[in-house]
Amino acid sequence: MKADVRHVTDGTYLVHGSNTNWVILKEKEGDAVTLIDTGYPGDREQVLASLAQVGSSPEAVAAVLITHAHNDHLGSAEYLRGTHGTPVYLHEAEVPHARRDFLQQVSVGAVLKNSWRPGVLPWIVHAIRSDGLAQLPVGTPQAFPRQGALDLPGRPVPVHTPGHTDGHCAYHLPGLGVVISGDALVSGHPTSRIQGPQLLPDMFHHERARTVASLDLLAELDGDLLLPGHGPVHQGPVREAAHRARELALKVR
Ligand SMILES: [Zn+2]
Ligand SMILES: [Zn+2]
């Protein structure tokens, strides 16, 4: 198994899983990494392969950071926590979501109502095959241990960008000009015909209006490399990417 790992900039890797991305931040020395998101449950072998390909290992993951607790991002978090004792951190508003005290994810019924849209049927077939309907709650998810930059490889700064889910967070690497945007801002999706910065289709957002408002928070972040939860890396000012997604979102309505 070889994972699709792209080296984006100093110690920063974007990995394309089966339909979803994750990010690895590696220290200059040694094998310690921060893993941001973990793909679908069915992507586990690719997660493990990607760690090996950057010269790391599951034991060397200092922490798993999750942008939001949807099944295509949370997939292997509980596996890593249960097997290796890796701490799993999220925004405090997302912690109960990761425990599955509640679920803010599109239902199969809602997706099927949209199945006439291009790409939706193949997407849901893939999601089912990747165990996207399996609920794999995290046993003891934790809120970030501190404000501001986290004391982890890459020194990521969580940025609360609610709407897609209540506790959705982007992660900013100010020194490298990188924004890891999760599902608050993507650059493509199998159910979208548009390429480039955009929001996911409406049905995927818990609160669409808040998701649109959070684009203004992303627009304030200094950076020119956008690593989204879905789609390829986007090069160019993150501010402009957020503005483009906002324009498109307002036009679609
Ligand atoms: Zn999502
Ligand atoms: Zn997603």
What CATH number did the domain enclosing 231 receive? Answer: 3.60.15.10
- Amino acid of residue 5: V
Cα-to-centroid distance, 186 and ligand 2 (Å): 9
Q: What is the dihedral of CA 100, 17, 50, 93, to 10 degrees?
A: -30
pLDDT at 252: 61
Cα-to-centroid distance, 69 and ligand 1 (Å): 7
Nearest to 34 by CA among 1, 66, 74: 66
Q: Average pLDDT over the chain, rounded to whole?
A: 95
Q: Average pLDDT of 105-114?
A: 85
Cα-to-centroid distance, 183 and ligand 2 (Å): 5
Is the Cβ–Cβ distance between 157 and 9 less than 8 Å? Answer: no
Nearest to 213 by CA among 160, 252, 141, 149: 160
123-141 pLDDT, tens per residue? 888 888 888 788 889 999 9
pLDDT at 124: 85
- Specify the number of domains making up the chain: 1
Cα-to-centroid distance, 112 and ligand 2 (Å): 17
Q: How many CB atoms lie within 10 A of CB 41?
A: 21
- Separation CA 95–CA 101 (nearest Å): 9
pLDDT at 155: 98
Cα-to-centroid distance, 30 and ligand 2 (Å): 30
Residue with tokens 């912690």: 95
Q: Average pLDDT of 112-121?
A: 87
Cα-to-centroid distance, 22 and ligand 2 (Å): 10
Range of the domain at 227: 4-252
149-189 pLDDT, tens per residue? 999 999 999 999 999 999 999 999 999 999 999 999 999 99
The closest ligand to the CA of 40 turns out to be: 2
pLDDT at 115: 86
Is the Cβ–Cβ distance between 210 and 161 less than 8 Å? Answer: no
- Separation CA 155–CA 26 (nearest Å): 10
Residues near ligand 2 ion, CB 5 Å cutoff: 72, 183, 229
Q: Taking 90 as the threshold, does the pLDDT of residue 225 lie above it?
A: yes
- Separation CA 20–CA 231 (nearest Å): 8
Q: Taking 60 as the threshold, does the pLDDT of residue 253 lie above it?
A: no
Q: Average pLDDT of 208-215?
A: 98
Q: What percent of the chain has pLDDT over 70?
A: 99
Say which range, 26-35, 142-151, 185-194, 244-253, has the weakest mean pLDDT.
244-253
pLDDT at 107: 84
Structure tokens at 242: 């957020």
The pTM assigned to this predicted structure is: 0.96
Cα-to-centroid distance, 231 and ligand 2 (Å): 10
Structure tokens at 12: 């920063």
- Amino acid of residue 167: G
Residue 31 CA: distances (Å) to CA of 11, 153, 201: 11, 10, 38
Residue with tokens 């199969």: 108
